[in-house]
Amino acid sequence: MTGLHRHNNHKEEAPKDPKKEMKHHKHLQHLGQATTIAVGAYALHEKRQAKKDMEHAHKHKVKEGVAAAVAVGAAGFSFHEHHKKKEAKEELKKHKHHQHKH
């Protein structure tokens, strides 16, 4: 599997900065949302094209279906990142609370 990026979960990782972690997941959530909107718009465009261009309607319907599937995947990714962001936010609260006790 050369050339592919893989995560190695067997190694110990250094503690992460909760604030950076939260910002990272927020950025990915927004990227997923933007992708969902863009690909959803493309799916609607292809749906309209299928009605307009009867000669190539099947091709447009296939593109519409693929775009719709990608939009659903991007929405799922965004939802996943939203929860990762919430976890990081809770970790940040614990981290700040722990610092103030000393």
**Count of CB atoms situated within 10 Å of the CB of 87:** 14
Residue-wise DSSP of 23-56: HHHHHHHHHHHHHHHHHHHHHHHHHHHHHH-GGG
Q: For residue 23, give Cα distances in angstroms to 57, 77, 82, 83, 89.
A: 43, 16, 11, 13, 9
Q: Which pair of tokens denotes residue 87? A: 């976890």
Question: Which residue is associated with the tokens 């996943």?
Answer: 80
Residue 13's pLDDT band, with cuts at 50, 70 and 90, is low
pLDDT tens track for 27-59? 999 999 999 999 999 999 999 999 999 999 999
